[in-house]
Amino acid sequence: MAKLSGAELRERLERELPLALADSGAQLPTPAAIHGPPPMVQESEDVLIVAERLIEAALYLRDTLGYSYLSDIAVVDFLAEDVFELVYRFYHLEGGAPLTLKLRVPRAAPDVPALTPHWPGANFHEREAFDLFGIHFVGHPALRRIYMWDEFEGFPMRKDFSKQGDKYIGDEE
């Protein structure tokens, strides 16, 4: 079983790809309190990297560490921090916990290198992230909307997407 913890991965990356690591280390951005008290910054095992170095780091995970299986790409919109966070999850085919890479891009210019040329399996994940969040994957061969129709304007999963017409929103219990 492949057992590499997030801390070990950070150590390895520090040694091999020092430029890939983002400075702010282990801190997660704090979600904007849309329906709750203001949260606290919390510790996490996941490794935060610089967006421009994503491909290098991902290929290092695949080719050197053997984490060849890209399972999921999730986007979180941290409106208060003005960033999108992307969460990449890689698995080893021998089993074990995932290695998670996170990166943050400013909401105004969400440019992220595409993994699709290296992992064809990232195709639909990235198209979904583009469709719902408007993340621009640089180098993606066919970055089109996947769920919404092509003429649709806006990105419906963004926190500031207008929810006008939904009478249940805004009435906190």
Options 93, 111, 138, 160; binder of other proteins; rule CB under 8 A: 93
β-strand pairing of 136-138 with 83-91: unpaired
Contact residue for other proteins among 7, 19, 138, 169 (CB under 8 A): 169
Q: Which two tokens stand for residue 60?
A: 């290092």
- Give the binding-site size for other proteins (rule: CB under 8 A): 49
Closest approach of other proteins to the CB of residue 15, in Å: 27
Q: Rounded to an integer, what distance in angstroms lies between the CA atom of residue 167 and that of residue 149?
A: 24
Question: Which residue in this structure is represented by tokens 């801390």?
Answer: 7
**What element of type H or E holds 16?**
helix 6-16
Among 137, 145, 100, which residue's Cα sits nearest to residue 115?
137
Taking CB under 8 A as the binding criterion, the range among 10-18, 19-27, 47-55, 147-155 that sits at the site for other proteins is: 147-155
Q: Please tell me whether residue 156 binds other proteins under the rule CB under 8 A.
A: yes
Q: Please pick, from the candidates 22, 26, 44, 136, the single residue that binds other proteins as defined by CB under 8 A.
A: 44
Burial 31-58 (b: 16+ CB within 10 A, else e): bbeeeeeeeeeeeeebbbbbbebbbbbb
Binding span for other proteins by CB under 8 A among 9-17, 18-26, 48-56, 65-73: 65-73
The torsion region of residue 66 among left (phi > 0), alpha (psi -120 to 50) and beta comes to: left
| Shorter beta-carbon distance to other proteins: residue 18 or 171 | 171
Considering only the C-alpha atoms of the chain, give the largest distance between any 2 of them, rounded to a whole number of Å. Answer: 53
Among 125, 134, 135, 140, binds other proteins (CB under 8 A): 125
Binding residues for other proteins (CB under 8 A): 28, 30-37, 39-40, 42, 44, 68-72, 74-77, 87, 89, 91, 93-98, 100, 119-125, 132, 145-149, 156-157, 168-169
